[in-house]
Amino acid sequence: MMLLIGLLTAVMIAVCLFLILLVLMQLPKKEAGAGLAFGGAATDALFGSGSGNFLTKATKYSVGAFFGLAVVISIMQNHQTQRSLTEFEQQLKAPQNQPAIPTAPAPQAVAPAAAPGTNLTLLAPAAISNAAPAK
């Protein structure tokens, strides 16, 4: 789909350049102007006396092709962006199955060293944390 959109875009650029050249080659309404400066007078010699008809028809067809390509490309681009994700794209966007980072265990309070001969089982936890180490 993207290849076709790119190809149609290249064709549209070529039609656009051709349309620019056609507009510049046309005779102006007056005998002076940009059309005369860019070769408007040479179109009579190149295409004959009916060059206005040829250039007018070619411009009409080029404009139609330009607008037609613009509509087709915009519809295709809209379809491309709104299409459902394929299974492969869904797998790429899914979170990977990585192991969870282990959290460090909460630091445990270390009881101060009791004086020799002290029975630690009889001391309350508050007493252990508030007890001063023996010297």
- pLDDT of 61 reads 93
Q: Give the DSSP per-residue string, 97-135.
A: --PPPPPPPPPPPPPPPPPTT--TTTS-HHHHHHPPPP-
Q: Which of 5-19, 60-74, 115-129 has the lowest mean pLDDT?
A: 115-129
Residue pLDDT, tens place only, 97-107? 766 677 777 66
Rounded to whole angstroms, how far apart are CA atoms 87 and 94? 10
Among residues 62, 86, 73, the alpha carbon closest in space to that of 14 is found at 62
Give the relative orientation of helices 2-25 and 51-82 as an angle to the nearest 10 degrees.
160
In the DSSP assignment, the letter for residue 95 is: P
In the DSSP assignment, the letter for residue 75 is: H
Confidence of residue 19 (pLDDT cuts 50, 70, 90): very high
29 is written with which tokens? Answer: 């309404």
Rounded to whole angstroms, how far apart are CA atoms 85 and 91? 10
Buried b (16+ CB within 10 A) or exposed e, 19-36: beebeebbbeeeeeeebe
Residue pLDDT, tens place only, 89-128? 777 777 777 666 777 776 676 655 656 666 555 555 555 5
Among residues 23, 86, 7, the alpha carbon closest in space to that of 60 is found at 23
Supply angle C-alpha 86, 88, 99, rounded to 5: 135
